[in-house]
Structure 1
C-alpha cells in the first residue's frame, strides 16, 4: 500500500480563525525580520562604494560589477582581493577586513531567515523555522534544521539588527578614509582616479 511522505495539509480555516489572537506577536516577529533584512540590504549596497573606490571608477560602473557578481560572497571576495593590491595602509586594510567579517557574521542570520520555511502553531503564531539547506556530515545527509523562534532567537535578531546599524555607520566612516588613501595615492603616482 502506498503511504504518502508529504506532511499533513494545514487546517487553513482553523488557522485563519485563530490568527487574530496571535497577530501582535506575528507582527512583531515580521517587523524584526523586515528590519533585519532592510538593514542587511543597505549594508550590502554600501559595498558598491567600496568597489567604486577600489576600482577607481564611477558609481554606475561599480554597480554593474556589483550586480554582475551574483552572490554576496563573490562581491566580498572581489573587494578583499582588490584591497590587497590597492590598500597599503595596514590599519585601513585591517578596518576594512574587520567590517567585512562583521558583515559576514550578520549575513548568516539574514540568510537563515531569508531561506527557511516558517512553522506556525494552531493559533497562527510562528514557532519555528526550518532551514532550506542540506546539513551534510561525514555519515549522513539531512534536510532542514528546525529551530525554535523563541525569545532567545528574537533577541539574536535584535542584536544582529543593532550590529548592522553599527556596521552601516562604520562603513560610512571608512569610505572617505578609503577614498583619500586609494585616490590620493593614485594622484601622487600620476594614475587616473576615475574612469570616464
Structure 2
C-alpha cells in the first residue's frame, strides 16, 4: 500500500449506517449553528443604519459603503473611526465601542464554525471542529487546530446566541440616541466642528 500524508478517507457507508444513533445531538448542534448565523447576520446588517447616521447619508448610500467593504472587520473599523470623528458625546461613543467589541468577539466564534471541518466519529457524532485557517502567534504558526464539540461547547454556543440577541436590542436602542445626537437640537444634521473634543 502506498504511504500518504493525507488524512484517511472516511468510511462513509459505515458512518451513514450508524448515524441514526447520533442524529438528535447532530440536529441540536446544527440548529444552534443556524441560530448563531441568523442572529449574527441580523446584527451585522444593523450596522448599515449605524453607518448611515455616522455618515449623515441615506440608506442606499450607507448600504453601498457597507457592501463595498467586503469584510466585517473593515466595516467595524469604519464604524469605530467615524464614531471617534463625529460623536462628541463620550457616553454614546463608549456604548458604540462596547457594541463593536462584543460583536467582534462573537464574530470569532461565528467565523470558526462557518469555516471549519466538522470531525465525526464512526457513529456519525460530531466530536470536534478542525479550524481550516492559519493561527499565527509571535512564536509559531499552526494549521488545523482541533477543538472538542462537547457539552461545554454547546453551552458556549447557546450563551453566544443569547448574547447576540441582547446585542441586537442594544443596537436598536442605540440608533435613536445616535440619530438625536447627530441631528443636534435643531433637528437636522449637526456640523462636525469640535467633533474631536472629548475623549
Q: TM-score, normalised by structure 1?
A: 0.92
1:183 deviates by 2.1
CA distance in 2, matches of 1:188, 1:137: 44
Alignment partner of 1:75: what SS? Answer: helix
1:124 deviates by 0.5
| 1:121 equivalenced with 2:121 (yes/no) | yes
CA distance in 2, matches of 1:31, 1:190: 47
1:90 deviates by 0.5
- The residue number in structure 2 matching 1:46 is 46
The structure-2 alpha-carbon separation of the partners of 1:100 and 1:138, relative to structure 1 and needing over 3 Å to count, comes to closer
- Structure 1 residues 169-188: aligned runs within 5 Å: 169-184=169-184, 187=188
- Structure 1 residues 1-196: aligned runs within 5 Å: 3-184=3-184, 187=188, 189=190
- 8 Å Cα contact 2:182/2:189 also seen in 1: no
Let me know the Cα RMSD of the aligned residues: 1.8
Q: Which runs of 5+ in 1 are unaligned?
A: 192-196
The structure-2 alpha-carbon separation of the partners of 1:143 and 1:189, relative to structure 1 and needing over 3 Å to count, comes to closer
* Moved >3 Å (runs of 4+): 137-140, 188-191
Q: TM-score, normalised by structure 2?
A: 0.91
1:10 deviates by 0.6
Alignment partner of 1:187: what SS? Answer: coil
CA distance in 2, matches of 1:78, 1:46: 14
The structure-2 alpha-carbon separation of the partners of 1:189 and 1:31, relative to structure 1 and needing over 3 Å to count, comes to closer
Q: Can you list the C-alpha shifts for 1:87-128, whole angstroms capped at 9, x where unaligned?
A: 111111111111111111111111111111100011111110
The structure-2 alpha-carbon separation of the partners of 1:189 and 1:124, relative to structure 1 and needing over 3 Å to count, comes to closer
- 8 Å Cα contact 2:183/2:190 also seen in 1: no
Q: Which runs of 5+ in 2 are unaligned?
A: 193-199
